[in-house]
Amino acid sequence: MNTQIGIGINIWNTEKTIEKLLNSIIKQTYKNFAIYILDNQSTDHSIKIINRIKKRTKAQINLIIDKKRRDIPSAQKILVKKFLIKHKYSMFANDDDLYHPEFIKTCIQIIKKKKVDMAYTSCQLLYKNKIIKFKNYPEYNFQNGKFINTINFLLYRNIVPIIFGVFETKSLVDSFKFYKPISNSRSNYDNQFMLYYLSRYNVEYSDKNLFFYCQKNRLIIDKNKGGYKVIYDEYKSLPLIFFYQFILLKNFYQSIMINKNFDNFRKLIIFIMCIIVFFQKTISYNIRFILRKLKLLTTKQSSL
């Protein structure tokens, strides 16, 4: 194991963004890393750009051309099981996000100093090349402990920026068995993974803004990538919204039931929280569904 950290990037037609991302990683003050780029059969100049960057840098950049089109969770599982598993630490990067030169160094220093399983930093949002203020809340940290971190995640389901932190690879591999989508929308795989992780592993947070997350529209997903649909197109009726939220919360609670870190009393509290969150989320989604049907609510940008 020559390099300490493996960086996994899943791409598809990223010619407009991939060079900026790779430059921000190459400029890291922490140099002991290897980059693994899994190309999902791009049809633009992405591969050409990556090969050009490989020639002008000493950084380890490994380009893997996938033989078939995959959705995001399937592609990232390949990155973990075949490549990132070789390293002590791992992280994922989106093709359109950016990193401060001190990002990796800061996260690894925190992991070693605090003796935690993963670390992440505060972030700012990028939208149309402009920085937008972002409230990094709630903070998941070692002081809160696994139980409070789990409760906070149930309430807010805020996966940015924590999911883009640096993980000890052993903990990442263990938690990836819960990195799976529910329903045809191929969504919520990251939520299930993060809840499992926070309930079992110690995490720490830095309030330095060292990560820049490109703001995305979570409702509109490119139809050409993995055959995705607009997420809300799947919700063809109000009962389906209840059904999908029920499945998600059921999966949440099942992952808690097999958790040996929590006693029965804390599991009961989490069960009650799951019920509360179920009704809160379904009511919220139902209202949005009705408003869209009435064309009173247009698709808006979201940070997730």
* Domain spans in the chain, listed from the N-terminal domain onward: 1-96, 97-304
Rounded to an integer, what distance in angstroms lies between the CA atom of residue 105 and that of residue 3?
A: 14
Q: What is the pLDDT of residue 237?
A: 59
What are the start-end ranges of the H helices in the chain? 18-26, 46-56, 72-82, 103-114, 145-156, 169-175, 189-198, 238-257, 264-293
pLDDT one digit per residue (tens) for the chain, 304 residues: 468 999 999 999 999 999 999 999 999 999 999 999 999 999 999 999 999 999 999 999 999 999 888 888 889 999 999 999 999 999 999 999 999 999 999 999 999 999 999 999 999 998 877 888 778 889 999 999 999 999 999 998 889 999 999 999 999 999 988 776 665 545 578 888 999 999 999 999 999 999 999 976 544 334 344 433 444 444 455 666 677 777 777 888 888 888 999 999 999 999 998 888 888 877 877 777 777 667 665 544 433 3
1-96 homologous superfamily = Spore Coat Polysaccharide Biosynthesis Protein SpsA; Chain A (3.90.550.10)
Residue 236: strand, helix, or coil: coil
Write down the residue that tokens 């649909």 correspond to.
229
Report which of 292, 199, 188 is spatially closest to residue 237, judged by C-alpha positions: 292
Contact 165, 121 (CB under 8 A): yes
